[in-house]
Amino acid sequence: MVWWYSCRTCCFFCLVFFIRRFVKVCVCAPVLPCTFRTRNQSHETHWVARTRQLVPKQLRNRTNSLLVIAGWSTAEKSRLKKLFKRVHDVLDGLYNALYGFVLHSFRSMNRKIKSKFPVWRMKEETSEHVEQSVRVFSWLILPLSVVYVLGQHQFFGEYALGAMLWSIAVYFYSNFLPDIPSVYRKNSGTDSADLPWHKKYVLLLFAPLLIWLLFCGIRLSWRTADTFHNFRSLAVYGVFLSVVGFLGFARFPLSTGDLVNVLFFLFCGIAGFVAHLKVDGIW
């Protein structure tokens, strides 16, 4: 039971941080126009422009007022601020790690296929997708994950922490999945026939395996004009996730708790895919 309460405490502090951070951005800050970086602007400059043009003094006044009303002493306020700062630094590090990992992965794939896609554009798209994925995670996936784990424990007596972590991993993976099969995209000037539908969706659904083969020196000769940035690909991916969810979380006879696990796994994957389509202006 100790690990269970520790996990709940960590989830609580993560939830508090994200609420505090986005209240800081959305309430204490003026409305910022949506800005796009040029070639000479770095990722850090863009992040500063979007999230740090705030009113920190106003935020500090609000925080201090709440602590005074609650009757907290100066030492307690100091410890709380240090705690928030440490959590803030950890989550900022996770954000930068996610950005760096995604950017490095796509740059490595493009170097492998000798793509001429400009690096500045790659950085811009990576920053947009990472920012959107973190925003959706903060406002939707994380709160639902806490409710999901607590609900599974309360109503079905199941510890769903492992299923929750797998679902969150699938959510972030799905945020970048539609761009991964781009290494097998057909050039615009090529007149060859497109792939059959089942081969096209193999490129989408088994993209990690094909990328692993690519780095092993094996690149399939398949080429498709499909970008997978459409709702048909989303539907196919949803069916695939349902099958994977049943294979991974369902036990026979099927219980309500197992069904909830599968549905939450499916929801996280679809949410990540939809978030990607939103950034690219598909809907």
Q: Mind giving me the DSSP string for 216-266? A: TT------B-----SHHHHHHHHHHHHHHHHHHH--SSP-HHHHHHHHHHH
3-class SS at 38? coil
d(CA 179, CA 30): 33
In single-letter form, the type of residue at position 101 comes to F
Cβ distance 54 to 26 under 8 Å? no
d(CA 149, CA 2): 16
**Domain residue spans in the chain?**
119-279
pLDDT block averages, 10 residues each, the chain of length 283: 46 50 42 40 47 44 50 70 81 87 89 84 90 91 93 88 93 92 76 78 90 86 85 94 91 86 94 93 82
Cβ distance 234 to 270 under 8 Å? yes
SS3 track for 44-70: HHHHHHHHCCCCHHHHHHHHHHHHHHC
d(CA 170, CA 267): 10
- The per-residue pLDDT for 169 is 94
DSSP 187-220: PTT--SPPPPHHHHHHHHHTHHHHHHHHHTT---
Nearest to 136 by CA among 258, 266, 22: 22
3-class SS at 131? helix
d(CA 104, CA 278): 23
d(CA 192, CA 188): 10
- The per-residue pLDDT for 148 is 94
d(CA 145, CA 282): 27
Structure-token pair, residue 37: 């970086």
Nearest to 131 by CA among 103, 104, 169, 153: 103
- The per-residue pLDDT for 133 is 92
142 DSSP assignment: H
